[in-house]
A and B are shown apart, each in its own frame.
Chain A
Amino acid sequence: MANRKIRVLLAKLGLDSHTVGITVIAGALRDAGMEVIYTGLRQTPDMVVQAAVQEDADVIGISSLSGAQMQHIPKLLDRLRSAEADDKLVVVGGVIPDEDAAELKAAGVDEVFTMGARTEDIATFIRTWWEAERR
């Protein structure tokens, strides 16, 4: 377990199809030695939870640029709890207004990275959590 790669599931929820950010993050996390699984576009919260469980992902990364984060992400957190999979790290990235970020974190998202976040910091955040929680 200690030696296996950190498994990150990257997902796009709903109809948001902006993929530049998620492409860059996927590359950066792979470069940081993690295993990245991408769900593709147009996922529902249920589809993401199912994929995360099936793929035994440690981390779920949601990219949101269309503004619908408050519709989908709280639902995803609920479904994770119902599936008893809420031990996974959940990070969100994209165009997220400050007030939404605060609300998401209160609802159980572990961290929100907005535009301008460094990929290195995202990888470090995941790695630090992994060292503390999983090893």
Chain B
Amino acid sequence: MTDDSRKRPAPDGTEPADAEATWRRDVLGPALADRGERQDEFVTQQMHWPLKDLYTSRDLDEIGFDPGKDLGFPGEFPYTRGTNPAGYRQDLWTMLQVTGFGTATDSAERWSKMLDQGLNGFIIEYDLPTTNGYDSDHPLAEGEVARAGTAIDTLADMEQALDLPWDKLQHLSSVCNAPQPVNLAMILAALEKRDIDPASFTLQMSNAILIEYTCVGRYIYPPKHGLRIATDCIEYTIRNHANWIPISVVSAQLYAARATPVQELAFGFSIAMEYLDATLARGFEIDEVAPYWSFITGLEMDFFEAIAKLRAYRKIWARLMKERYGAKREESLRLRLMSSPGTTGLTLQQPLNNIARLGIQTLACALGGGAYAITTPLHDEAHALPSEEAVRVGIAVQNIVAHETGVADTIDPLAGSYLLETMTRRMEDEVFAEIEKVDAMGGALAAIEAGYFQKELARSQRARFSEIEDGTRKQIGVNHLVQADEKRSIETFKLGETAERQQLARLARVRADRDDAVVAKTLDRVREAASGDENLVPPILDAVKAYATQGEICDVMREVFGVYHPDSLTSGV
């Protein structure tokens, strides 16, 4: 019957030009004759790019897709097929989770348990006083101590936090942007005290202060001083701890602030180049420093857009390093990318649904290829701090994708997909166009000072929420399949009431036991370094070893650099 209909002449008597036109006329047309498609238009969730009903080899011809140029082979320029030549057939990605709570003792206990459960490393999240450069006994800190992460006031806390099964630990990430040099110094001093070889594991620092000005808000000093401090950490680490990663462009935070993929990549790369230029100005060659740059991203629920984003990440970085900076080493061109299912796709409503979302996003992470590490947020995260059960499920989700689905068993299985290659190219082109726009403003620092990123992100945030409110974007449990009488009875982790009190007592003890004259002397040295252009890490390391508190060290820099207060334009609100 199909054969008969194929032979039927077109209603207007002309012969279709090719097989697709024949299919449209003879197969698709009749199928849609009674009822059309279920929507007037189909668009991607984030970029709102129109989606055709069918992608074919003709789409690839139209964009001049060249497998040699656009894909290459795995581990080769432009790394679209992954940075690792063997994909995940040699090693699976490193499985990580973000966590931290309570005092250093509470956290060390939980981290040790996670390592015993099979994770290779973890990301330390600090509490808000720590990431904002305040001590636990500062008036603004009240109620926040040891709440959203671990509290670190002095070296004594860091020594305690790093009481871990070191034989199991390969990777440690530390997310502490504004006071990064203090955080780095505390880790260095604690390793020395514990007699741990810094070369035995990888420390990845976020050191991502410029992102804080665009959306996260945990800044202390004006942006240009933030950049200088970050560059000090980068320079110090490259010169002294060659196996560590001193900079992570946490584009995941742009994503969490509802940046579209194009905004995320363009703003993220512009920011990365700002750090790179500042570091090059310290007397390095591009190939000495580019291999240290790393990125952290988060994925949305639109599956193909998410995968296209991961592929575009690698390709654009390789092109920027090669074409703009003249980098030659492979390590400079190969993007270091950690990806994670995104928390913004998770819902407070019907929280168990989030396990399905995490599974799908983790699958996209794996199929996007070349992410060396994947973190899983937890299904009850929208509620409060994650429960232990959620931690277990998060680890299981990664293992299910790794061991049960087979997606990690061939290298870059989706290459050549008509849809995906078309999307990847479009993403690449639009990101380059946006980067050029930021270039024209004078780069990322100038764009931040002018409030450009903040304003653009605020626009995306509002657009996203109105889509969910008016139902153009369906979210299950929120605006679709809503349970009217839903009870929010999920079990969440309760923080012991005593953590804050314990931390305050611990801080008071350290203050009482130390030699204040030595502390004052080391703080004077920090002030002197901050006033000039000497690298801040060595004098801060001395202050940390004298048990100066983080707040005291940051206060000295507040005196020298000033405190940043964005106005209505540069806050984005």
B142–A95 CB distance below 8 A = no
Does A124 have its Cβ within 8 Å of any Cβ on chain B? Answer: no
| A12 → chain B closest CB, angstroms | 8
A40–B383 CB distance below 8 A = no
Does A128 have its Cβ within 8 Å of any Cβ on chain B? Answer: no
Q: Which of A15, A19, A27 contacts B129 (CB 8 A)?
A: A15
Q: Which of the segments B188-196, B215-223, B280-288, B319-327 contacts the partner chain? A: B215-223
A14–B143 CB distance below 8 A = yes
Closest to B478 in A: A116
A40–B566 CB distance below 8 A = yes
Having A20-B461, A118-B469, A120-B469, one finds 4 other A-B pairs with CB under 8 Å, namely A15-B128, A20-B256, A40-B571, A97-B492
Q: Please, which residues of chain A bring their CB within 8 A of the CB of B144? A: 14-16, 66, 68, 71
B382–A95 CB distance below 8 A = yes
A98–B488 CB distance below 8 A = yes
User: Assuming A67-B147, A115-B348, is B132 touching A15 (CB within 8 A)?
Assistant: yes
Q: Which of B142, B385, B478, B573 contacts A26 (CB 8 A)?
A: B573
In whole angstroms, how far apart are the Cα atoms of A72 and B240 in the complex?
43
User: Assuming A38-B571, A116-B478, is B139 touching A44 (CB within 8 A)?
Assistant: yes
24 A-B pairs (CB sep. < 8 Å): A14-B140, A15-B129, A16-B128, A16-B144, A18-B217, A19-B215, A20-B257, A23-B461, A23-B462, A23-B572, A23-B573, A27-B462, A42-B132, A44-B139, A44-B140, A66-B148, A67-B147, A68-B144, A71-B142, A71-B144, A95-B383, A114-B348, A116-B347, A119-B469
In whole angstroms, how far apart are the Cα atoms of A42 and B219 in the complex?
11
Does A41 have its Cβ within 8 Å of any Cβ on chain B? Answer: yes
In whole angstroms, how far apart are the Cα atoms of A23 and B385 in the complex?
23
Does B134 have its Cβ within 8 Å of any Cβ on chain A? Answer: yes
**Interchain pairs with CB closer than 8 A, number:** 94
| B140 → chain A closest CB, angstroms | 6
In whole angstroms, how far apart are the Cα atoms of A68 and B495 in the complex?
12
Does B568 have its Cβ within 8 Å of any Cβ on chain A? Answer: yes
Closest to A70 in B: B143
| B98 → chain A closest CB, angstroms | 15
Q: Please, which residues of chain B bring their CB within 8 A of the CB of A68? A: 143-144, 147
| B432 → chain A closest CB, angstroms | 27
1/0 per position for B242-279, CB-CB distance to A under 8 A? 00000000000000111000000000000000000000
A116–B492 CB distance below 8 A = no
Does A24 have its Cβ within 8 Å of any Cβ on chain B? Answer: yes
Q: Please, which residues of chain B bring their CB within 8 A of the CB of A70? A: 143
Does A6 have its Cβ within 8 Å of any Cβ on chain B? Answer: no
Q: Please, which residues of chain B bring their CB within 8 A of the CB of A28? A: 462, 465
Does B80 have its Cβ within 8 Å of any Cβ on chain A? Answer: no
| A18 → chain B closest CB, angstroms | 8
In whole angstroms, how far apart are the Cα atoms of A19 and B215 in the complex?
7
**Residues of A in contact with B (beta carbons under 8 Å apart):** 10, 14-20, 22-24, 26-28, 38, 40-42, 44, 66-68, 70-72, 95, 97-98, 114-116, 118-120
Closest to B465 in A: A24
Does B141 have its Cβ within 8 Å of any Cβ on chain A? Answer: yes
Does B172 have its Cβ within 8 Å of any Cβ on chain A? Answer: no
Q: Please, which residues of chain A bring their CB within 8 A of the CB of B385? A: 67
In whole angstroms, how far apart are the Cα atoms of A72 and B147 in the complex?
14
**Residues of B in contact with A (beta carbons under 8 Å apart):** 128-129, 132, 134, 139-144, 147-148, 215-218, 256-258, 347-349, 382-385, 458, 461-462, 465, 469, 478, 488, 492, 565-566, 568, 571-573
Q: Please, which residues of chain A bring their CB within 8 A of the CB of B572? A: 19, 23
Closest to A31 in B: B462
User: Assuming A19-B572, A20-B461, A97-B492, is B143 touching A72 (CB within 8 A)?
Assistant: yes
Q: Please, which residues of chain A bring their CB within 8 A of the CB of B382? A: 95, 115
| B49 → chain A closest CB, angstroms | 23
A40–B565 CB distance below 8 A = yes
Q: Please, which residues of chain A bring their CB within 8 A of the CB of B488? A: 97-98
Q: Which of A17, A22, A66 contacts B216 (CB 8 A)?
A: A17
A22–B469 CB distance below 8 A = no
Q: Please, which residues of chain B bring their CB within 8 A of the CB of A118? A: 469
Q: Please, which residues of chain A bring their CB within 8 A of the CB of B566? A: 40
Closest to A97 in B: B384
In whole angstroms, how far apart are the Cα atoms of A66 and B126 in the complex?
12
B348–A15 CB distance below 8 A = no
Q: Please, which residues of chain B bring their CB within 8 A of the CB of A97? A: 383-384, 488, 492
Q: Please, which residues of chain A bring their CB within 8 A of the CB of B143? A: 14, 68, 70-72
In whole angstroms, how far apart are the Cα atoms of A37 and B214 in the complex?
20
In whole angstroms, how far apart are the Cα atoms of A22 and B462 in the complex?
10
Which of A15, A17, A67, A120 has most B Cβ within 10 Å? A15
In whole angstroms, how far apart are the Cα atoms of A41 and B129 in the complex?
13
| A11 → chain B closest CB, angstroms | 11
| B149 → chain A closest CB, angstroms | 10
Q: Please, which residues of chain B bring their CB within 8 A of the CB of A14? A: 128, 140, 142-144
| B461 → chain A closest CB, angstroms | 5
Q: Which of B134, B217, B349, B492 contacts A19 (CB 8 A)?
A: B217
In whole angstroms, how far apart are the Cα atoms of A118 and B132 in the complex?
31
| A118 → chain B closest CB, angstroms | 6
In whole angstroms, how far apart are the Cα atoms of A134 and B140 in the complex?
34
| B206 → chain A closest CB, angstroms | 15
Q: Please, which residues of chain B bring their CB within 8 A of the CB of A42? A: 132, 140
| B457 → chain A closest CB, angstroms | 8
In whole angstroms, how far apart are the Cα atoms of A105 and B347 in the complex?
24
Q: Which of A19, A66, A67, A114 contacts B573 (CB 8 A)?
A: A19
| B14 → chain A closest CB, angstroms | 52
| B279 → chain A closest CB, angstroms | 27
Q: Please, which residues of chain B bring their CB within 8 A of the CB of A115? A: 347-348, 382
Closest to A17 in B: B217
| B221 → chain A closest CB, angstroms | 14
| A32 → chain B closest CB, angstroms | 13
In whole angstroms, how far apart are the Cα atoms of A98 and B566 in the complex?
33
Q: Please, which residues of chain A bring their CB within 8 A of the CB of B129? A: 15
In whole angstroms, how far apart are the Cα atoms of A98 and B383 in the complex?
10
A27–B458 CB distance below 8 A = yes
Q: Please, which residues of chain A bring their CB within 8 A of the CB of B461? A: 20, 23-24, 27
In whole angstroms, how far apart are the Cα atoms of A14 and B134 in the complex?
12
| A38 → chain B closest CB, angstroms | 4
In whole angstroms, how far apart are the Cα atoms of A17 and B144 in the complex?
12
User: Assuming A41-B217, A115-B382, is B462 touching A66 (CB within 8 A)?
Assistant: no
